[in-house]
Structure 1
């Protein structure tokens, strides 16, 4: 549906755009990109299941350029294009309408659970990882709105899954370097779930501080991954579901943006790393009927997505 038609059907959109000009310009950018690619996901992105791996470690909101500068692993870092500028698009574009009975998915990101009724997708098993720490919000300071797992928590669950399912491909979806940040600058930030979700509790955080907090979080996460690799056999690859805007400008309308905007396929959001970090003895992979999906309360899933800024 075009922007003109949407405004005609809902005039309040125009008022909203006048009140929040950056958001209105961001929406115009989204319409530009999705008109070229389609509304569901970025069709120029790769199919991760067509690639060669036994373990696929997915970093959430990890840009190619920051990863390339920060990786602790030997070997080339390839640039790939993701099917999404958000996790929802990545999940939709890679899992939708597929039977992946040779895949076990260990995740700190709950979008697969949120979308499972609409994906028409089957995997052999899913392991949901419990939350670890509180996320605060600007509009409700110091209140519990959801939890996000530390990287080591997800990796510990993944190691258990690797032992439980030695003949399956393993996806390990970490939540970092997505906000909330880790490291020495993490206490500067609180989160409102919207455009300005990278503001300090007392005043704006400057862009250099924001970018350093993001880099610190990525480096901490890569250190945890390196410590876990000995427990994962087979060919292990690190990639990301999408990137992150850290004060850069969208295109074609150059409005400054933070975080990730659905349907906007600029390099900062869809250029992701692809690095083979371990070549071990290959596993013999087999497909088996799916286990029953875990019974996770919908409110719990929404709380997690709300804490990350996806649900208002």
Structure 2
């Protein structure tokens, strides 16, 4: 067993989980903000890199501070951010989320409790699971930032009527899938459209709609071959570009460039949020991504590695110039939170989760 494998097992195993609990983590509730934007899966060095080049939503890189996140994966972050100790803050907060883990029980993630997830409308002053209505299965399967920004602006402007004084908005970018590289990702909806694939024999279920490899373009054949390889390995790396870098399937430079483009995607929309919300707007993340540090790739739960747990903290002053006028999402006051399990599961799968 090589050093990287040993390091990974230590960092992601029981020892890592124990060390993870000892980190000086800071819940977002302990910082000052009016609107807090969670940029899912954003590494600290990525944020500083984009700040150094210059972006309207960001200050200079010297003003990109950091904090230690309470988790190394989204469900773990939710479990510790929305626990019983924070109920008073949550009651005065609107949570607008694009992350489908909000409706998962997550019994399979051993570092989470059984007290928090799934979340419900009773947990917050306002609870809006934007992913339910705004998810897009197009070139990539995700929720673009625009609908989340619209909801956050509308809720913040109606905060007095809604009885809240904070808005926490959970964007899915820069987390994969990457808009600039749709061919890397295999959302479950796209696979279902393709049906059963064979090497020229009849389809496994005899359906006339099943496709044969001969009917596919070279690009589709290549995608299926990559999918088959991922499934042979247990499926863990199918939609996770960081694991594909580890496995030599993708180059680090290519993945980093696409990752950065996804961050710029959400930051472009945060420029609009800053122009339409008065108050202190914070930007941070639930976790980063390991790129081989201590043998860790991606963002496994219960991991103490700094690349995954130390995340950006940026604060800007927003000023409402009324450059847009979105309405409150339908049903934001009385959404019952019910959704089919297969819908939630397919959306998590598109983000690289099993």
State the partner residue of 2:257.
212
State the partner residue of 1:82.
69
Q: What is the rounded CA distance, in whole Å, between the counterparts of 1:88 and 1:64 in structure 2?
A: 20
State the partner residue of 1:177.
174
TM-score (norm 1): 0.74
State the partner residue of 2:143.
149
Alignment of 1:44-123 (within 5 A): 44-71=24-51, 72=55, 73-74=58-59, 76-97=63-84, 98-99=86-87, 100-115=90-105, 118-119=115-116, 122-123=123-124
Q: Which runs of 5+ in 1 are unaligned?
A: 1-17, 137-146, 282-289
Count of aligned positions? 262
Q: Does 1:243 align with 2:283?
A: no
Name which of 250, 260, 277 aligns with 2:299.
260
Q: CA RMSD in A?
A: 2.9
Q: Which runs of 5+ in 2 are unaligned?
A: 107-113, 187-229, 321-332
> 1:237 is paired with a residue of what secondary structure?
strand
Q: Does 1:274 align with 2:313?
A: yes
State the partner residue of 1:224.
269
Q: Residues 23-42 of structure 1, C-alpha deviation per residue, up to 9 Å, x if partnerless?
A: 8863432222212344xxx7
Q: CA deviation at 1:292?
A: 6.1
Name which of 24, 29, 39 aligns with 2:11.
29
Q: What is the rounded CA distance, in whole Å, between the counterparts of 1:227 and 1:63 in structure 2?
A: 22
> 1:119 is paired with a residue of what secondary structure?
coil
Q: What is the rounded CA distance, in whole Å, between the counterparts of 1:44 and 1:77 in structure 2?
A: 19
CA contact (8 A) 1:125 1:292 kept: no
Q: Residues 134-162 of structure 1, C-alpha deviation per residue, up to 9 Å, x if partnerless?
A: 477xxxxxxxxxx4101112112222222
When Rg is computed on C-alpha atoms for both structures, the one with the higher figure is 2
CA contact (8 A) 1:135 1:307 kept: no
Q: What is the rounded CA distance, in whole Å, between the counterparts of 1:195 and 1:94 in structure 2?
A: 28
Structure 1 residues 91 and 23: CA distance shift in structure 2, 3 A: farther
Q: What is the rounded CA distance, in whole Å, between the counterparts of 1:135 and 1:85 in structure 2?
A: 28
Structure 1 residues 225 and 123: CA distance shift in structure 2, 3 A: same
Q: Does 1:190 align with 2:180?
A: no
Q: Residues 33-60 of structure 1, C-alpha deviation per residue, up to 9 Å, x if partnerless?
A: 212344xxx7521011121111000000
TM-score (norm 2): 0.66
Alignment of 1:122-141 (within 5 A): 122-129=123-130, 130-134=134-138
State the partner residue of 1:5.
none
CA contact (8 A) 2:36 2:282 kept: yes
> 1:231 is paired with a residue of what secondary structure?
coil
CA contact (8 A) 2:237 2:352 kept: no
